[in-house]
Amino acid sequence: MSAAFWSLVALATITGLFTAWALGANSNSPPFAPAIGANAISTMRAAFLIGILAALGAFLQGGSISETVGAGLINGVAITPLAATAGLLTATGFMAFGVYTGYPVPAAFATTGAMVGVGLSLGGDPAFETYRRIGTFWVLVPPMSGGLAYLTATILRRDDVPDTVGVPLLAALVSAILANVQLGIVPSPPGVSQSSVAEFAARAVGGPAVAGVEAAAVVATLAFAAAGFQFIRSRTQESVERGTRTFLVGLGSVVAFSSGGSQVGLATGPLENLYRVELGLSGGILLALGATGILAGAWMGSPRLLQATSREYAQLGARRSIAALVPGFVIAQLAIAFGIPISFNNIIISGVIGGGLAAGSAGVSRRKIGVTLGFWVVTLVTSVALGYGLYRSLSSVLGIQ
């Protein structure tokens, strides 16, 4: 391989690291914003936890979305190192603007648009079926997240649902989902990259299956749910405020973990063909690279955006904050399971708004919401054009593909 090729490899890798850094500072920040808004955790402590948890999620759950971004957005061509660099530079520029201005940029919109642009510039064909699947999911996210948050917050505010019951039941739901989360660290059968604790229990114990569902997997799920319920219930019985905040911080932690898994592919996806095909390296190396960038970005750049999302979108209490995060966790894990790149800002901010509206609209900045939504649409459209143009320009100046 020529020196020019290795120079492109180095340039693409560095650009990918910067993109992961921007993701850590931008899109991995919102999961703890409701907890900060409810005064359950300080901004700097949240930034520290976001870095650790998002990096772990990136390494253990990021493979499916990375493959979609790297190979599923354009048909007929492979993403070259120069094309990957152009796409990543375009997406990173949008995210850096978001960090600087305090407006959360939807990283999935910016990266997806940029990679479609460079793919078209390479001469590829649009992957319309993939766009339909991704677009449908994106459109459904705000009503799903905001609606579920509104419903959950309304229930938690009811006088006939005591906090010692309502909050532990939500903890049980989250714990049950955790038992079925796909993780790279859980032993898997040959040919399978990830598995869940419930699936591992089913394989280890065996036993009957009912309607295609293994009994041992159901038992493992119920055991997780019971443990989560009992832990939070005991905390809320000692002190409702302390128990609620404990759950809020724990919920923010699992959502931050999920955000890493759902976002790292936006940085590593453009490098999939380069690392896996041209260099013959394993996907784990690429995910570790992305996780490192996310860790650095969360520690160095997230406090500013944490303040913006926690204070400016809605003034939330602990219960409405919980309501904002539960849908985010569910939707993020669904996206990871289906390999769909998503904007975590879209999920969490929709949940924050839904939770805030449960107590009336007074705490929600309508102007801020409107500007943000408009900026999201502009991001998607503009990133396609900029990605297309930037690759053409770099290819023309450098004389390489």
**224-273, pLDDT tens digit by residue?**
999 999 999 999 999 988 888 889 889 889 988 998 888 889 999 999 98
Q: Are 319 and 37 in contact (CB under 8 A)?
A: no
**Tell me, what's the pLDDT at 297?**
86
**Tell me, what's the pLDDT at 364?**
57
Of all residues in the chain, what percent carry a pLDDT higher than 90? Answer: 28
Q: Are 104 and 308 in contact (CB under 8 A)?
A: yes
Q: Name the residue with tokens 């390494």.
A: 59
**Tell me, what's the pLDDT at 288?**
92
- In the predicted model, is pLDDT for residue 201 greater than 80? yes
- Sign of the C-alpha dihedral, residues 378, 69, 300, 249? positive
Q: Are 31 and 249 in contact (CB under 8 A)?
A: no
- Confidence band, pLDDT 50/70/90 cuts, at residue 313: very low
**Tell me, what's the pLDDT at 96?**
76
Q: For residue 161, give the DSSP letter.
A: S
pLDDT tens-digit series, residues 270-294: 999 889 888 888 888 999 999 999 9
Highest mean pLDDT of the ranges 62-66, 131-135, 277-281: 131-135
> Which of 73, 27, 77, 29 lies closest to 50 in space, CA to CA?
29
Q: Kindly state the average pLDDT of the residues 315-332.
A: 79
Question: Which of residues 309 and 335 earns the better pLDDT score?
Answer: 335
- Confidence band, pLDDT 50/70/90 cuts, at residue 362: very low
- In the predicted model, is pLDDT for residue 386 greater than 80? yes
Question: What CA–CA distance (Å, rounded) separates 222 from 200?
Answer: 15
Question: What CA–CA distance (Å, rounded) separates 275 from 263?
Answer: 18
SS3 category, 40: coil
Q: Kindly state the average pLDDT of the residues 97-106.
A: 70
pLDDT tens-digit series, residues 72-89: 999 999 999 999 999 999
